[in-house]
Amino acid sequence: MTGITEHLSAVRDRAREAAEHAGRNVDEITIVAVSKQQPADAVQAAYRAGLRHFGESYVQEAVPKMDALRPLDAAWHFVGRIQGNKTRPIAERFQWVHTLERERIARRLSDQRPFHAPPLKVLIQVNLGDPRKAGVAPEEAADLAAAVASLPRLELRGLMTIPPAGLDERATAAYFDRLARLRGTLEDSGLSVPDLSMGMSGDFEAAIAAGATLVRIGTSIFGERGTRSSPVPEQTGGGERT
Ligand SMILES: *Cc1c(COP(=O)(O)O)cnc(C)c1O
């Protein structure tokens, strides 16, 4: 696991520089280390290096890692496609969900959130480009946000997006700006929308410039995925749109 500490300090330097350049305080920005397809010992190494927020895309892969880190005060963020039949372990085991797209799933997560746990923090995934890809259209975000805000066991936190592949730097910056403006629109309508989850290894500086508060970073911290003895992700094909 050598390398994680060095990688992380390089990521922190890049984040600090981007924040300073944008006139922002780097403390407003949380690094979510996306540990999908990385083994539990890599997550432990990242924890020892100071990270406390971890992102996972597959429930079955995440749970053993959570168990391995159970005594530690790590916060787990679900950043994958939510399958209708996997909401219970998400509601029970995660603190954050970045990828909500449907009100029915929101209601289920609220119903299944354990009473002893604080409300599940939820971000709505917005798609500002290709409508066939994951995420709600910007026009649908307000209704879904209002629905989340009204559910007792969910806490509306914000919006999340993944830009389409292949955008140049300028188009990526413009894309992130659009999500930030959508957040402003929702806040003008009276909703509390404190977070913007945007930016990955290749574009997190641009996301920070546009106002990201959560950056989801995998390979820049852990290296390439699946190069160590990593668990095999569960199948995600087909049935997720229940
Ligand atoms: C895998 C993944 C990331 C991390 O991507 P990197 O390019 O490795 O930093 C971030 N967000 C989501 C939703 C992911 O699935």
User: Per residue in 8-33, pLDDT tens?
Assistant: 999 999 999 999 999 999 999 999 99
pLDDT confidence band for 2 (50 / 70 / 90): low
Q: 232 or 144: which carries more pLDDT confidence?
A: 144
Query: Ligand 1: which of 172, 214, 216 to mutate, most ligand atoms within 8 Å of CB?
Result: 216
Instruction: For residue range 40-85, list pLDDT tens digits in order.
Output: 999 999 999 999 999 999 999 999 999 988 878 899 999 999 999 9
Query: Ligand 1: which of 8, 34, 79 to mutate, most ligand atoms within 8 Å of CB?
Result: 34
- Residues 140 and 218: their CA atoms lie apart, in Å, by 29
Token pair 């140049």: residue: 168
Give the pTM. 0.92
Give the residue whose CA is nearest to atom 7 of ligand 1.
201
Give the residue whose CA is nearest to atom 4 of ligand 1.
218
pLDDT confidence band for 124 (50 / 70 / 90): very high
Alpha helices in the chain (DSSP H): 4-21, 40-48, 59-68, 87-93, 103-112, 138-150, 169-188, 204-209, 219-222
pLDDT confidence band for 230 (50 / 70 / 90): very low
Burial, 62: exposed, middle or buried (Cβ in 10 Å; 0-12, 13-18, 19+)?
A: buried
